Chain A
Amino acid sequence: MSLETLKARLGARLRPVSDWSPDQAPLRSDYDLNPGAARNGAPLRPAAVLAPVMAHEAGASVLLTRRADSLASHTGQIAFPGGRLDPGETAVDAALREAWEEVALPPASVQVLGLGDPYETGSGFLITPVVGWITPPVIVTPSPDEVAEVFETPWDFLMDTAHHRRDHYEMNGARRYFWAMPWNERYIWGVTAGLLKGLHARLYGEDGDRAAEAEDAA
């Protein structure tokens, strides 16, 4: 896919940064796949992640982290840089701050292209995905307390619905479904996969606009 086409699509299809407000309602949710599951009713806690799109000449990729609280095994939990909003922060502020704290990505190297849909997690967070465009070279360094590893996964792989899987586990007698996008030996799943699925829907349509994908891939 040409970088120009992708960047233009992101700019056209993402929500403008000015759309963000602290009391926005979620548009996507862990509950989308689990409509019968009960919520606990507490107010959602605002959070933000940075979805860093790395604009490599050979093709775009998405920067992801493996969190330090996971096991030493390479199948550990995978996430975007991100976290809770500090008081007074916007989603963009928090996403850039967390990316700096977790992987030392300089905020000045990130061109914010827009926002994905606010996403409600089962654990009570309301996550705003902030999509950043980053032109390499850029040096990232994982903070050892928070991040075990930083890696990149090709954009084309993540945006191909053939790689979007609906896995589940059992909780309180019911199946709890979530998105999973296993890439090589890495299991991208849960909230992170749900956020990627949301980006896919916003860019290419809910069911995967194959024509648009093909157009971008051409």
Chain B
Amino acid sequence: MIQAASETGLAGVAQAARAERGLPPVHLWNPAHCGDIDIVIRADGVWMHEGSPIGRAELVRLFSTVLRKDPDGYHLVTPVEKLKITVDDLPFRAVAVERDGDELIFTTDVGDQTAAGPEFPIVVETDPVTGEPAPRVRVRADLWARIARPVFYELVERAALRDGRLIVSSGDADFDLGAVEAGA
């Protein structure tokens, strides 16, 4: 009997996350029980539980490792249950970027690092509602980080101009940050 899989609710989530070194294999877990939990990841990256911010960074970090995006939304997943949460924008924010050789390494607000490349693209898309372009980068699976404004500016500072467009390269892939218009 594996006791680690027995708890439910937030205690179970914490237990499932702690049971693994590195990232838990959430893609392999298909728990029978599903429910909702009052957790909201706000657009500014603050995790709210029952209306109050979760102040402990290590707890947020722990929960983020069992986050999964399914067709019906974001969930915290354990071997025994799947708890739906609310994500206002994207689950993570890219708060720093560094170059390591030919790769751009992004760091997220929960401490993940991701090297941009064909599998982990940088995407600048236009929000269908507001019409505003918004940059993001894939962190793992179908979980993305919104690229914070200063980080985007740092990308632009690293960009090359090709055919009137700002291009950054990372991991043998080129990413288009947008067009440059000539002024006077």
Within 8 A of B (CB), among A76-128: 76-77, 121-124
**Is A204 interfacial (CB 8 A cutoff)?**
no
Determine the distance from Cα of A57 to Cα of B157 in the docked complex, in whole angstroms.
Answer: 33
> In the bound complex, do residue B179 and residue A121 qualify as a contact, i.e. CB atoms below 8 Å apart?
no
Known contacts A40-B149, A122-B150, A123-B151: does B180 contact A69 (CB below 8 Å)? Answer: no
Identify the closest chain A residue to B127 (Cβ): A173
Contact of B158 among A42, A67, A122, A145 (CB under 8 A): A67
Task: Check B148 for interface membership: any CB of A closer than 8 A.
Answer: yes
Q: How many residues of A contact B (CB 8 A)?
A: 33
Instruction: Name A67's closest neighbour in chain B (CB-CB).
Output: B158
Query: How far in angstroms is the closest Cβ of chain A from B100?
Result: 10
Name the contact of B183 in the complex, choosing from A71, A167, A191 (C-beta under 8 A).
Answer: A167
Whether the pair A169, B102 counts as a contact (CB closer than 8 A) is no
How many A-B contacts at CB < 8 Å in the complex?
A: 89
| Interface flags, A164-183, vs B, CB<8A=1, else 0 | 01111111110011001000
Which residues of the other chain, B, contact A176 by a CB distance below 8 angstroms?
A: 156
| Segment at the interface with A among B9-17, B57-65, B72-80, B161-169 | B161-169
Which residue of A is nearest B170, CB measured?
A: A69
List the A side residues contacting B150 at CB < 8 Å. 40, 42, 122-124
Q: Is the CB of A172 within 8 A of B160?
A: no
Contact B162 A168 (CB under 8 A): no
A132 at interface by CB-CB < 8 Å: no
- Interface membership of B134, Cβ < 8 A: yes
User: How near does chain A come to B74, taking the closest CB pair, in angstroms?
Assistant: 24
- A169 vs chain B, min Cβ distance (A): 5
**Does B52 reach chain A (CB closer than 8 Å)?**
no
In the assembled complex, A70 has its CB within 8 A of some CB on chain B: yes
Q: Is A133 an interface residue (CB 8 A)?
A: no
Report chain B residues within 8 Å CB of A191. Answer: 157
Query: In the bound complex, do residue A121 and residue B157 qualify as a contact, i.e. CB atoms below 8 Å apart?
Result: yes
Q: Does B112 contact A (CB under 8 A)?
A: no
- Measured between beta carbons, the chain A residues less than 8 angstroms from B158 are 67, 69-70, 77
Q: How far is the CA of A76 from the CA of B99 in the complex (A)?
A: 16
Least CB distance from B154 to A in Å reads 4
Which B residues are CB-close (under 8 A) to A40?
A: 148-150
How many Å from the CB of B69 to the closest CB on chain A?
Answer: 24
Query: Which partner residue on chain B sits nearest A124 by CB separation?
Result: B150
* Contacts A169-B166, A171-B178, A173-B133 given; does A187 touch B151 at CB 8 Å: no
Say yes or no for A38: interface residue by CB 8 A criterion. Answer: yes
- Tell me the chain A residues, 122-154 only, with Cβ under 8 Å from chain B: 122-124, 145
B159 beta carbon closer than 8 Å to chain A:
yes
**Interface assignment of B182: CB less than 8 Å from any CB of chain A:** yes
Closest partner residue, chain B, to A66 (CB atom): B160
Would B157 and A77 count as touching, CB distance under 8 A? yes
A42 to B181, CA, bound (A): 29
- Given A124-B150, A166-B183, CB of A73 within 8 Å of CB of B156: no
List, in ascending order, chain B residues with CB within 8 A of A46's CB.
none
Contact of A170 among B102, B151, B167, B178 (CB under 8 A): B178
Whether A69 contacts B102 in the complex (CB less than 8 A), given A168-B183, A171-B178, comes out as yes
Question: 3 closest A-B pairs (Cβ-Cβ)?
Answer: A122-B153, A123-B154, A173-B132
- In addition to A71-B167, A173-B132, A176-B156, 9 A-B residue pairs with Cβ atoms within 8 Å of each other are A70-B169, A73-B160, A77-B157, A77-B160, A166-B184, A167-B182, A169-B166, A172-B149, A177-B183
**Can you report 26 residue pairs joining A to B where beta carbons are below 8 Å apart?**
A30-B153, A40-B148, A40-B150, A67-B158, A69-B99, A70-B169, A71-B162, A75-B161, A75-B162, A121-B153, A122-B156, A123-B150, A123-B153, A124-B150, A166-B184, A167-B180, A169-B156, A169-B179, A169-B180, A170-B133, A171-B152, A177-B183, A180-B183, A189-B161, A190-B157, A191-B157
